[in-house]
Structure 1
Amino acid sequence: MTRKESVFWGRYADLVNKHGLSGYAAEWTVHRAQQFVYGLEGRKLRNVDATYLDQYLNVLGRNDSLQDWQMIQAINALKILLVDVVSLDWAVTYDWDARLSACRDLEPTHPTLAREAPLMRDVHRQEACALTPAAEAQLERIKEVVRTRAMSIRTEQTYVEWARRFVDYCGGTFPEGPAKVRDFLEYLALVRKVAPSTQSQALNALVFLYGQVLKVELGDLGEYRRPARKRRLPVVLSPGEVQLLLAAMSGRNKLMASLLYGAGMRLMECIRLRVQNIDFDNGYILVVDGKGGKDRRVPLPVKLVPELKAHLTAMKAQHDADLTAGFGEVFLPESLARKYPNASKEWIWQYVFPAARLSTDPRSGRRRRHHVSEKNLQKVVKSSAVKAGIPKRVTCHTLRHSFATHLLARGSDIRTVQELLGHADVSTTMIYTHVLNRSGVSGQSPLDTL
């Protein structure tokens, strides 16, 4: 290494330390940056552009030996290099957050993947007691019955978790009769202080367990303590607060949050969007397999069309590069993959918001590209609300609440809003009329009339 290079990397190491990194983390951050610089093959560092960086990171994302945290480490190393050291203008505005947020692997229990993995004993946390072999078999039987009845993966996970908690409470085995079930429900209310909906969820899970798996009728459980049910109104942002929130975000995360508000989609509906679900010509988004397994159409915000098209152009280039490298497959449900064996490589089936890294398919072991993890957008929305100074508890679902409330405020009828939200019962949608003070009582304070 020449003296000039030693000075350059010494300066880079100092900046790494200023970012709070030390020890092996700092050493590997420097190493990641050096890998990038010494792989430029004659190109000067100052001549690197966003296209080259995208290509480099895409190749890195196809490296099956690189874990998600190592990918994050590499991106942070390049951000320090190109923004703080070389000070490239385009690097300052580059969407680093989107690159970082797309690195997280989907855990095996994620709803997108869990149903596709073969039935096997869960690797779960240390329990309070050891389960009997019969109890373990019954827990697995819950999955089989749920899947036979075509119930959702969320329901499957919830029922298995409540059954596991119940068998822990009972000492490792499932007792006969309703006595222990009643005791467990009271324990949840009096000791665990759970919400009424949580206790009802546990009851539904245990009724399913006994009736459909153990083939034991619980009968009348009798009287047991229930938590007091409280009526909660949804948190809704004003149009001005929505503008402040979105202004505090940037890049891909802002695009996704804008879709949540502009189309009223649920978080996972946005995360799982595929290319063919967006109809630019007719101005709508097709939500496939939403809550309850239902499809519906929602409006495509006109303001987002140019940005969405530019985003899809970039993702198409990434997909083409994957195909050239021998990859390019996307995750498809098993039934769909059997019916259309070549669909996994087609552009129309790709996720609109794909992960930055290829992941291993739990069934075949092949390297495929899943969608981004929803946890990153959840964190960004929460932190952006704090940054914007919004004194409310803001989540991704708050944007959906705001979508419905603002539509009603502009005169949309309740049935239209119900269809756009995908609610099975209009009474669920009616809650937004209470937010608007449309209960027949004037929203004006009597103090203002004095």
Structure 2
Amino acid sequence: MSELDSKRLESIRKFWEAFRSCVEEQRVSPDRSHYYVKWAQAFVRFAPGKRLRERTGKDIEAFLTDLGKRPGTGDWQVKQAEHALKILYEVFLPEYAPVNSYEDIQKAHVRKKVVPRTREDVFRDQAIPGEVERLFAPLISAMKTEIRSRHYSIRTESSYVDWVRRFIAFHDYTDLKKLDATKAVREYLEYLAVERAVAASTQNQALNALVFLYTNVLNKPFGDLETFVRAKRPQRLPEVMTREEVQVLFDHMKGVTLLMAGLMYGGGLRLMECVRLRVMDLDFGRRQIMVRDGKGQKDRVTMLPERFSVVLKEHLARVRTVYDDDRTRGVPGVYMWPALARKYPKGALEWKWQYVFPAKSLSVDPRSAIVRRHHINENLVQKAVKEAAGRAGINKRVSCHTLRHSFATHLLEARYDIRTVQELLGHADVSTTMIYTHVLNRPGLSVMSPADF
């Protein structure tokens, strides 16, 4: 094999490794991400000799239709393949978005109205992968710029942009400036509520995204938002475990996920607050954890449970080994907010800025396209907690956030002041913390059932 062939194969290998990392960043679990790579590779083989940049939406539709006709291929596999191509074109390689003219899209939708679709399970707001990026590239770019200028999280950006894609697809890729904004948004929200039967929180999230689009990107604010009736979210009490159940849960966990679960319970951390912890956030001397840029972009201090201090120090020693190896290999530094990166140009390479729970492999930064070591995938922790609850036989809906609920409830059970608990949880309003008194059935004083008098 020639040196040129070797370099080409190595380049291809790195390409698919980077794509798999990108897939996992889109909240696809690592045990499924390799299937996404296989679907993308199958699409590459489907039209040999035709480069990705030369492929159109028709090529994608033809591939998915052909895939659905193959013996032994289920509908869920076709959906998974479509999701893989969506990530490939809309996230990983936006510059290779399929090339279609606006006229082609309109003709395609006219045909769909006359001829029944071969894939009847497709929702009206499900966009063909890459089409919105190609037809509305300036709009999507402006949307991302406005979101980032406000320092919204990458998750908010992904969510808002996806709602805009769905909204555009729902209206047959029509130029948004030609639509009656109020009428178009109302039609879409009614579709979500009636046909899709989405949850109230989902409908409200879609409305928030579209309000942001019209107000900050298109500069066409709705005016009176009272014309849109926000779905009322149901008032539900949080799921809480007993102390015994928490211990049984921990008994069925091990390794890094056990340590993270311990910090979430012992310090009342949200999942992403735990995942994004930096070395400098831990103060072993004062047994404190500094939670930076939490929900609502607020900082707070909570306790570092002494029970996990020794294990955490041992974990950091192992992380330091990985960090030293990355520095030797010249791996780019950890992600920092752009303003911080400018203020501390070498900060990304310093130990104190590193993630406490780094990922095992390198991945592509979705915003800068730099290959670096990010934090651990939160799906791994969620899956570990859920599986441990199943093995422990806990008959409750246990998630990572259940640990935070249990933290607050157990502190109140121990008669700690509700204002103190509020500060530890980072709640802006004490009324949010008061919900845990309802879990205890103690809205003020301890209440005993008359059956127990």
1:337-352 pair list within 5 angstroms: 337-352=341-356
- Structure 2 match to 1:423: 427
Say if 1:418 and 1:426, in contact at 8 Å, map to a contact too. yes
Aligned to 2:168: 167
Contact 2:288 2:302 in 1 (8 A): yes
Matched-pair contact (CA < 8 Å) for 1:142–1:213: yes
Q: 1:282 to 1:102 in 2, by over 3 A?
A: farther
Residue 256 of structure 1: aligned partner: 260
1:53 corresponding residue in structure 2: none
Structure 1 residue 366, shift from structure 2 partner: 5.6
The aligned amino acid for 1:167 is I
Checking the alignment, whether the CA contact within 8 Å between 2:97 and 2:133 is kept in structure 1 is: no
Separation of aligned partners in 1, 2:191 and 2:424: 40
Which residue does the alignment assign to 1:16?
A: none
Q: Provide the rounded CA distance (Å) in 2 between the counterparts of 1:342 and 1:441.
A: 55
Deviates more, 1:429-438 or 1:138-147: 138-147
Of 194, 199, 205, 1:195 maps to 199
* Secondary structure of 2:289's aligned partner: strand
C-alpha deviations, 1:121-169, integer Å up to 9, x for none? 7969971695596644323322222223333333322222222222222
Stretch moving more, 386-395 or 326-335: 326-335
| Deviation at residue 120 of structure 1 after TM alignment | 5.7
Q: Does 1:334 align with 2:335?
A: no
Residues 127 and 326 of structure 1: CA distance in aligned 2, closer, same or farther (over 3 Å): closer
For 1:395, the equivalent position in structure 2 comes to 399
Cα distance in structure 2, aligned partners of 1:430 and 1:122: 51
Decide whether aligned partners of structure 1 residues 145 and 121 sit closer, same or farther in structure 2, where only a CA change above 3 A counts: farther
Is 1:312 matched with 2:299?
Answer: no
Residue ranges of structure 1 left out of the alignment (5+ in a row): 1-62, 72-99, 108-116
User: Equivalents in 2 of 1:404, 1:132: separation in Å?
Assistant: 44
Flag the structure with more relative contact order, 1 or 2, with Cα contacts below 8 A and sequence separation at least 6: 1
1:252 deviation in Å? Answer: 1.4
Deviation at 1:300, TM superposition (A): 0.6
1:386 pairs with 2:387 = no
* Structure 2: distance between partners of 1:274 and 1:102: 27
Q: CA RMSD in A?
A: 3.6
Q: 2:155 — aligned with what?
A: 154
- Cα distance in 1 for partners of 2:215, 2:19 equals 44
Residue type matched to 1:186 in 2? Answer: E
The alpha-carbon distance between structure 1 residues 232 and 123, as it changes in their structure 2 partners (threshold 3 A), is farther
- Following TM superposition, by how much is the alpha carbon of 1:211 offset from its aligned partner in structure 2, in angstroms? 2.1
Shift of 1:391: 0.1
Q: TM-score, normalised by structure 2?
A: 0.68
- Provide the rounded CA distance (Å) in 2 between the counterparts of 1:332 and 1:435: 39
How far 1:177 sits from its partner (Å)?
3.7
Offset at 1:221? 6.4
Q: Sort the Cα spacing of 1:380 and 1:325 in 2 relative to 1 into closer, same or farther, 3 A.
A: same
Any idea what SS the aligned residue of 2:206 has? Answer: helix
Among the aligned pairs, what percent are the same residue? 50
2:294 — aligned with what?
290
Which secondary structure state, in structure 2, belongs to the residue aligned with residue 297 of structure 1? strand
After superposition, residues 20-419 of structure 1 pair within 5 angstroms as 67=17, 127=127, 131=132, 135-173=136-174, 174=176, 175-220=179-224, 229-327=233-331, 329-361=333-365, 367-419=371-423
Which of residues 430, 436, 439 is equivalent to 1:435? 439
Q: CA deviation at 1:404?
A: 0.9
Q: In 2, Cα distance between the equivalents of 1:211 and 1:144?
A: 14
User: CA shift at 1:201, angstroms?
Assistant: 2.0
Per-residue deviation, 1:266: 0.8
Deviation at 1:200, TM superposition (A): 2.1
Cα drift, residue 271 of structure 1 = 0.9
SS at match of 1:292: coil
* 1:183-218 per-position Cα deviation (integer Å, ceiling 9, x unaligned): 222222222222222222222222222222222232
Equivalent pair of 1:328/1:345 in contact (CA under 8 Å):
yes
How far the C-alpha of 1:333 sits from its partner, in A, is: 3.0
Which string of whole-angstrom CA distances, capped at 9 and with x for unpartnered residues, describes residues 72-120 of structure 1? xxxxxxxxxxxxxxxxxxxxxxxxxxxx989989x9xxxxxxxxx9996
- AA in 2 matched with 1:127: A
- In 2, the alpha carbon distance for the partners of 1:164 and 1:121 equals 17
Cα gap change, 1:176 to 1:436, in 2 (>3 Å) = same
Displacement of 1:66: 9.4
How far is 1:369 from its partner? 2.0
What is the CA–CA distance in structure 2 between the aligned matches of 1:342 and 1:197, rounded to whole Å?
Answer: 41
Tell me the distance in 2 between the aligned counterparts of 1:199 and 1:70: 31
By how many angstroms is 1:383 displaced? 0.2
Output the CA distance in 2 between the equivalents of 1:213 and 1:419: 36
Distance 2:321 2:232 in 1: 55
Q: 1:328/1:279 Cα in 2 relative to 1: closer, same or farther (>3 Å)?
A: farther
Q: After the TM superposition, which segments of 4 or more aligned residues of structure 1 sit over 6 Å from their partners?
A: 63-66, 68-71, 100-105, 121-126, 221-226
AA in 2 matched with 1:187: Y
CA spacing shift, 1:417–1:123, aligned 2, 3 Å = farther
Instruction: Quote how far apart the aligned CAs of 1:373 are.
Output: 0.7
User: Which deviates further from its counterpart, 309-318 or 275-284?
Assistant: 309-318
The answer to whether the 8 Å contact 2:418/2:433 transfers is: yes
